[in-house]
Amino acid sequence: MPTFHPALRRLSLAVPLLLAGVAPALAAAPSGGLWPCIQRKVPELAVGQMWSGPPIENLQWQDDRQVADLVPVLAAQRTSIEEATKQIDAFAGTLGPNDKQRLTLLFAGVFEQINARRSRIMSGIERYSEHQIELSKRIKEQSLALAKAKKAATTDEEKAKAQELEKQLLWDTRVYDARQQSMTAVCESPVLLEQRVFALARAIQEKLP
């Protein structure tokens, strides 16, 4: 007759208690119930908090070929701030009378690209959170179904089916736990982008006349 693995048996006993607070905790998250991070949700960065130069609204930075080529290099996280600063210095060194305008175009492009990427990441975090909420609900349902199946199992076939339910519960719980552990790193992404655009704003502003 099939027997249940001790770890699976312990899991089936513990999961109902552990998950009792999972869904409510996630559902109680701010910003519509989907924002899971401890960091406050700020959907859009405020340019005025980091830039004291000329206005950047509605600037067509893409029309300046040199600026358009440099913006994605500066915005890319693979480019260190040290290297980005060197690139800004080199760009500023090529400028003439219109240096203030073109430096403003450069920041406009950097801000637009980083802010857009940050918004996409934040939307992805909320989708990630939604999937976790759905998975937590499924785990609770599986736990209840498993308890009923084990209680009602009298034949080898019924016990085998209960064991399969228990294996699926273990797998889904492992997936949930792994995702929760990675949530901290995921939530840091918007913060890192915010820090990046602040640093680039400072580097560009230092070159303004």
In tens, the pLDDT along 36-75 reads 888 888 888 999 999 999 999 989 999 999 999 999 999 9
How many CA atoms are closer than 13 Å to the CA of 130, on its beta-carbon side?
Answer: 8
pLDDT band of residue 152 (cuts 50, 70, 90) is confident
Query: What is the percent of the chain with per-residue pLDDT over 70, rounded to a whole number?
Result: 84
> Three-state SS for 58?
coil
pLDDT of residue 148: 85
pLDDT of residue 198: 96
Rg (Cα) of the chain, in Å, rounded? 26
How far does CA 112 lie from the centroid of its chain?
A: 19
What DSSP string describes 112-156? HHHHHHHHHHHHHHHHHHHHHHHHHHHHHHHHHHHHHHHHH--SH
* Residue 24: how many other CB atoms lie within 10 Å: 10
Candidate ranges 74-88, 142-156, 165-179; pick with highest mean pLDDT? 74-88
pLDDT of residue 27: 35
What is the C-alpha to C-alpha distance for residues 54 and 166, in angstroms, rounded to an integer?
62
- Which amino acid does the sequence have at 101? Q
Q: Which tops the pLDDT comparison, 159 or 51?
A: 51
pLDDT band of residue 178 (cuts 50, 70, 90) is confident
Q: What is the mean pLDDT of residues 10-34?
A: 43
Token pair 């637009």 in the structure block, residue: 112
Whole-model pTM: value is 0.69
pLDDT at 108 over 90: yes
Q: Which tops the pLDDT comparison, 5 or 157?
A: 157
The chain-wide mean pLDDT, for the chain, equals 82
pLDDT of residue 33: 67
Q: Which tops the pLDDT comparison, 108 or 173?
A: 108
Q: Which tops the pLDDT comparison, 76 or 173?
A: 76
pLDDT of residue 158: 81
How many CA atoms are closer than 13 Å to the CA of 154, on its beta-carbon side?
Answer: 1
Q: What is the mean pLDDT of residues 164-189?
A: 85
pLDDT of residue 12: 41
Tokens of 141: 């349902």
CB crowding 116-140: b at 16 or more within 10 Å, else e: ebbeeebeebbebbeebbebbeebb
Pick the range with the lowest mean pLDDT from 11-15, 131-135, 175-179: 11-15
